[in-house]
Amino acid sequence: MGEFDLIRRFFQRPAAAGVEVGVGDDCAVLVPTPGARWLVSSDMLVEGRHFLSTVDPARLGHKALAVNLSDLAACGATPRGFTLALALPRADEAWLAGFAQGLWALADASGIPLIGGDTTQGPLNLCLTVFGEAPPGQALLRSGARVGDEIWVSGRLGDARLALEVFRGRVVLAGEAFEQVRVAMELPTPRLALGQALRGVATAALDISDGLLGDLGHLLAASGVGATLELAALPRSAVLAVQPPAVQQECLLAGGDDYELVFTAPPGARLPDVGVPLTRIGRIEAAPGLRVVDARGERVDHGLRSFDHFQS
């Protein structure tokens, strides 16, 4: 199978609505919604760094797109298209079929067409770019949090990190419990509907990819504010809730790969109900820095920091 057969077989489909020219020409041609703003984001996934070589290719196809869609969700964008740049050691048909199936399933469920990309031989590496739209002035940014705002998070935190610790041999889980946290790690759900529903409601937002402490820290820095987080309020699964306190803290605060949205909103704001649980986890304050407190309001000395590719 040559490069162009591969593209035709796995990644080319008839152009979708809003796409004048899709895969097959030198550029894709998109039809913008009049007046809308473009929102663009890229995320690269490198074997051994972002995923294990043994991962099911369909799950990898899902995750590669999910982590990119999560950035659109964080900004409240409506997905419009994505590109896929793929380096593959060889054209393994079974692997490609699985990967494409996972990718297309999430693309179809999210209403986002594949509009182009690049395919090359090389160490397994996936780089996607997503394009979305939002009305002028309505993109959710990191910089809008105000003193007195409440801090909210969607879904549950820490399960993906717990699964990683099982793979690393630091935590033992079996059966249903392991499958549940493994799904959190391998099949994250981008919170697109929530992000769009938070336009005009949230003052600031981002998605958690590298761990709550670090990612929330970026939001605080961008907004020029500080915050206090309540450790006991952080939403966690029944599987994580029975782990030792130190493991729970690490997974919740510095886990990474959560792909949940953290956002701020004034007290009393009418939050949207899109079927995703929302939990209030803290408050924005004027004093700079991020404090974590326990159920009695005492400072928790966690000693944790977020994932950093060049410091880990």
Q: Rounded CA gap, 100 and 60, in Å? A: 9
Distance CA 171, CA 214 (A): 23
| Positions 232 through 261 that interact with Mg ion (CB under 5 A) | none
CB of 85 to ligand ADP, least distance (A): 7
User: Residues interacting with ligand ADP, by CB under 6 A?
Assistant: 7, 11, 23-26, 84, 86, 114, 116-119
Number of residues in contact with Mg ion, rule: CB under 5 A?
A: 1
Q: How far is the CB of 3 from ligand ADP (least distance, A)?
A: 7
C-alpha R_g of the chain: 20
User: Among 37, 29, 32, 131, which Cα is nearest to 80's?
Assistant: 131
Q: Where are the beta strands (DSSP E) in the chain?
A: 19-21, 29-30, 37-46, 78-88, 114-121, 125-134, 150-154, 204-207, 226-230, 261-265, 278-285, 289-293
The verdict on whether residue 306 carries a ligand-binding annotation is no
**Of 110, 108, 68, the residue nearest 85 (C-alpha):** 68
Query: Residue type for 191, please?
Result: R
Least distance from C-beta 26 to Mg ion, angstroms? 4
Whether 159 has a binding-site annotation, put simply, is no
Q: Which CB, 60 or 151, lies closer to ligand ADP?
A: 60
**Binding-site partner at residue 116 among ligand ADP, Mg ion, none, CB < 5 to 8 Å by type:** ligand ADP
User: Torsions phi, psi of 252, nearest 5?
Assistant: -75, -40
User: 41: annotated binding-site residue?
Assistant: yes
Task: Determine whether the annotation assigns residue 5 to a binding site.
Answer: no
Per-residue interface string for the shown chain with Mg ion, residues 8-27, x marking contact by CB under 5 A: ------------------x-
Task: Compute the least distance from the CB of residue 152 to ligand ADP, in Å.
Answer: 36
Say if residues 97 and 219 touch (Cβ distance below 8 Å): no
Residues at the binding site for Mg(2+) are 26, 41-43, 71, 118, 207, 210
Residues at the binding site for substrate are 50, 257, 307
Residues at the binding site are 26, 41-43, 50, 71, 117-118, 142, 207, 209-210, 257, 307
